[in-house]
Amino acid sequence: MPTSLQTTASTCCYCGVGCGVLIEHDGKTILGVQGDPKHPANFGKLCSKGSTLHLTGDLDARALYPELRLGKGLARSRATWDSALDHAAKVFAETIREHGPDSVAFYISGQLLTEDYYSFNKLARALVGTNNIDSNSRLCMSSAVVGYKRSLGADAPPCSYEDIEQSDCLLIVGSNMAYAHPILFRRLEAAKAARPEMKVIVVDPRRTDTCDLADLHLAILPGTDVALFHGILHILMWEDWIDRAYIEAHTEGFDALKQLVRDYSPTVVADLCGISQADLLRCAELIGKSPSFLSLWCMGLNQSTAGSAKNSALINLHLATGQIGKVGAGPFSLTGQPNAMGGRETGSLSNLLPGHRDAGNAEHRAEVARYWGVDALPETPGLTAIELFDAVAEGKIKALWIACTNPAQSLPDQSKVHAALAACPFVVVQEAFFTTETCHYADLLLPAASWGEKEGSVTNSERRVSHVRRAVQPPFDARPDWAITCDFARRLEHLLKPGLPSLFDFASAQALFEEYKHLTSNRDLDLSGLSYAILDNQGPQQWPFPAGAQHGTARLYEDGRFPTASGRAQFLAEPYCSAKEKRDGRFPLLLNTGRLRDQWHGMSRTGTAARLFGHAEEAVLSLHPDELRRRRLQDGQLVSLRSRRGELIVPVQADENVRAGQAYLPMHWGNRFLKGLGTNVLTQPAFDPLSKQPELKLSGVEVEKA
């Protein structure tokens, strides 16, 4: 081991488990990575993705210099930061003056650090005067946000990872934890090995590796979750496995729900969900008779046109059984991205404001405007991800700033998104990797610092804030995201509001954190007692952590009081509605998309490490053997996979884990198929009416010989 080897404690940049890492480096180059034994998310363990972080991020794939082009048909040329940001400020200022503030938009990312998010929010709302700032968290957690807020009064996951280990009954819905949140799954495996009496129920149309741990797997038909939850509640009520005292003391709206779920008898629900009545009854019995019950969910629930209803129907089960605010109990959404929580906290969805405030609430706008020292914040509702790219396609958005995300790969109906980006007059892409599909459309490419190269903070799925530390300098001209944003903002201020003191005079990420944290004072997520020094001295902390607190808060709602107007949690009585796209004669299969164990999102980072292709070399379509037989297809054959929106040529494999009438394709590939763009060329942009989260997991498709 070289004598100059240094170690810097930081966090993994992939999933919402938020594992602590020790970055090994020589001050210039990252040489290795270990799990941080002191970090309470992972206690030293790392999964295949985290443990290979140092092998990814190859310089050949990195954006290293600003690059600008002055015409759509031209190639980008290397530029200085001054000329690049001056040009961007000039174009944004002219566009805002000519077409108004809502003619520009920002599309940012759950991969950003909290300080990056905050700087973007302040830029959009306080300086530009638009709410057109949305994040790829719209594709990830926005249904959970709506679910928590409507049922419990605040966007606050109430549990801790320890509750998962201490629970008597776990319901895992629409989440392949074994692949998507591996270290948390390892903790669950260890807990079940130590306490075999712990029951695990997995609800997933597909039999995944997570099911290996399950006592019961309910392979429901895609999109029928609301019917399932109402059916479970029907049985809980019938058997008197509900907590009437809790309902009476701490909730509202139970009578309406009781009326609704009367119609969801076991016969009806088993038929709707395509499961046996015996399994349904067993599921309800496990939940109803367990001393503690905790549910975990992820994209399978959220990415749906009924995502908000699914979240509320699941939370109903916890309220009806009093299984919330106590050890081993509660509804617990698993955050997909490393800092989707930080984005929600800083207001990085178009309908939110910093400190879990709402952009549509005049009082909230006035509070933030006062704090920022501006006259007012914009009232016009901002566009959400799908709406935003529709507006780009319609020519309403004339300057678009994209940071740390790859919408040309990750948004549904990919062809439409590519056409929109091609037509947008000015596209800025702030990115660490020039290889993403979106970079192709950048008129201005700004090189961003990546993992191990920048400082800030992140919040993981259990509300735990970690200090993200820099180990090495970013390569060549790359800069931290917050620094790029603030530098641009100062130049735009000079053009739009000359002579006024700058709102973006931040010399460090820490300065941004110090300003931001006071906006959370006396809010449900109060972080005002935190500082980088406290995180360094006491380790990562769970919010709320108000000023003067000695430690964070492991569990919410232990006193049965909720942050609603009445102080009571709300039952939501919403009927099951079938999914928007159904099987029919032309598209007789329902396509589900999801993650592989060793790849992350659009593979801009994981795709640079050969070792991570050892688990799965390429995207393969999985079909039940009966579906192959019906179509006279062979295992491994190339097939044409078509939806109403596009076509791909992919290899197919027989897979007993996928039910007949369904299909499964990994989500990571953006443009590497023999024909077509990526997986999302097939998926549909229909979205939930409240959360505006698109239905990425359910699209009608057909498969034929290629």
User: What is the closest distance, in whole angstroms, from the C-beta atom of residue 254 to ligand SF4 in the complex?
Assistant: 38
Strands 589-594 and 30-35: unpaired
User: What is the closest distance, in whole angstroms, from the C-beta atom of residue 584 to ligand SF4 in the complex?
Assistant: 38
Residue 585 region, left (φ>0) first, then alpha (ψ -120 to 50), else beta?
Answer: alpha
User: What is the closest distance, in whole angstroms, from the C-beta atom of residue 137 to ligand SF4 in the complex?
Assistant: 16
Nearest to 179 by CA among 616, 592, 609, 590: 616
Which residue in 22, 30, 33, 46 binds ligand SF4 (CB under 6 A)?
46
By CB under 6 A, residue 612 contacts ligand SF4: no
Nearer to ligand SF4, 19 or 596 (CB): 19
By CB under 6 A, residue 17 contacts ligand SF4: yes
Between CA 437 and CA 434 the distance in angstroms is 9
Say if CB 507 and CB 482 are below 8 A apart: no
Angle in degrees, CA 85, 87, 92, rounded to 5: 95
By CB under 6 A, residue 452 contacts ligand SF4: no
Between CA 332 and CA 315 the distance in angstroms is 9
By CB under 6 A, residue 145 contacts ligand SF4: no
Which residue in 22, 23, 30, 47 binds ligand SF4 (CB under 6 A)?
47
User: What is the closest distance, in whole angstroms, from the C-beta atom of residue 629 to ligand SF4 in the complex?
Assistant: 38
Burial class (CB in 10 A: 0-12, 13-18, 19+), 667: buried
Which residue in 19, 170, 424, 509 binds ligand SF4 (CB under 6 A)?
19
Q: CA separation (Å) from 517 to 242, 491, 547?
A: 40, 25, 10
Say if CB 531 and CB 548 are below 8 A apart: no
By CB under 6 A, residue 182 contacts ligand SF4: yes
User: What is the closest distance, in whole angstroms, from the C-beta atom of residue 340 to ligand SF4 in the complex?
Assistant: 13
User: What is the closest distance, in whole angstroms, from the C-beta atom of residue 261 to ligand SF4 in the complex?
Assistant: 36
By CB under 6 A, residue 609 contacts ligand SF4: no
Contact region for ligand SF4 (CB under 6 A) — 45-53, 364-372, 410-418, 435-443?
45-53
Between CA 404 and CA 88 the distance in angstroms is 17
By CB under 6 A, residue 50 contacts ligand SF4: yes
Nearer to ligand SF4, 325 or 343 (CB): 343
By CB under 6 A, residue 49 contacts ligand SF4: yes
Between CA 219 and CA 273 the distance in angstroms is 8
Q: Which amino acid is at 523?
A: R
Residues 641-670 as x/- pattern, contact with ligand SF4 by CB under 6 A: ------------------------------
Nearer to ligand SF4, 377 or 612 (CB): 612
Contact region for ligand SF4 (CB under 6 A) — 175-183, 194-202, 553-561, 647-655?
175-183
By CB under 6 A, residue 464 contacts ligand SF4: no
Q: CA separation (Å) from 190 to 187, 196, 495, 655, 666?
A: 5, 10, 58, 28, 28
Which residue in 10, 14, 329, 658 binds ligand SF4 (CB under 6 A)?
14
Angle in degrees, CA 105, 431, 687, rounded to 5: 45
Which residue in 63, 173, 183, 383 binds ligand SF4 (CB under 6 A)?
183
By CB under 6 A, residue 172 contacts ligand SF4: no
Give the pair of three-digit tokens for residue 318. 């916890």
In the numeric block, the tokens 């419990």 are attached to 152
User: What is the closest distance, in whole angstroms, from the C-beta atom of residue 16 to ligand SF4 in the complex?
Assistant: 7
Say if CB 451 and CB 57 are below 8 A apart: yes
Give the pair of three-digit tokens for residue 578. 């079938």
User: What is the closest distance, in whole angstroms, from the C-beta atom of residue 50 to ligand SF4 in the complex?
Assistant: 2
By CB under 6 A, residue 15 contacts ligand SF4: yes
User: What is the closest distance, in whole angstroms, from the C-beta atom of residue 460 to ligand SF4 in the complex?
Assistant: 8
Nearer to ligand SF4, 264 or 451 (CB): 451
User: What is the closest distance, in whole angstroms, from the C-beta atom of residue 679 to ligand SF4 in the complex?
Assistant: 20
Q: What is the number of H-type helices and E-type strands within the chain?
A: 22, 28
Q: Which of residues 185-214 bind ligand SF4 (CB under 6 A)?
A: none
Contact region for ligand SF4 (CB under 6 A) — 11-19, 165-173, 509-517, 543-551?
11-19
Between CA 46 and CA 442 the distance in angstroms is 35
SS3 call for 280? helix
Q: Which residues contact 635 (CB under 8 A, 6 or more apart)?
A: 628, 652, 653, 654
Nearer to ligand SF4, 21 or 284 (CB): 21
Angle in degrees, CA 546, 161, 177, rounded to 5: 135
Which residue in 23, 25, 42, 624 binds ligand SF4 (CB under 6 A)?
42
Nearer to ligand SF4, 34 or 277 (CB): 34
User: What is the closest distance, in whole angstroms, from the C-beta atom of residue 113 to ligand SF4 in the complex?
Assistant: 15
Contact region for ligand SF4 (CB under 6 A) — 55-63, 180-188, 490-498, 500-508?
180-188
Give the chain's end-to-end CA distance (angstroms, integer): 53
Q: Which residues of 677-691 are buried (b: 16+ CB within 10 A; e: fewer)?
A: bbbbbbbbbbbbebb
Residue nearest to ligand SF4 (CB): 50
User: What is the closest distance, in whole angstroms, from the C-beta atom of residue 599 to ligand SF4 in the complex?
Assistant: 11
Between CA 159 and CA 195 the distance in angstroms is 20
Element (H, E) at 283: helix 277-289
Which residues contact ligand SF4 (rule: CB under 6 A)? 12, 14-15, 17-19, 42, 46-47, 49-50, 181-183
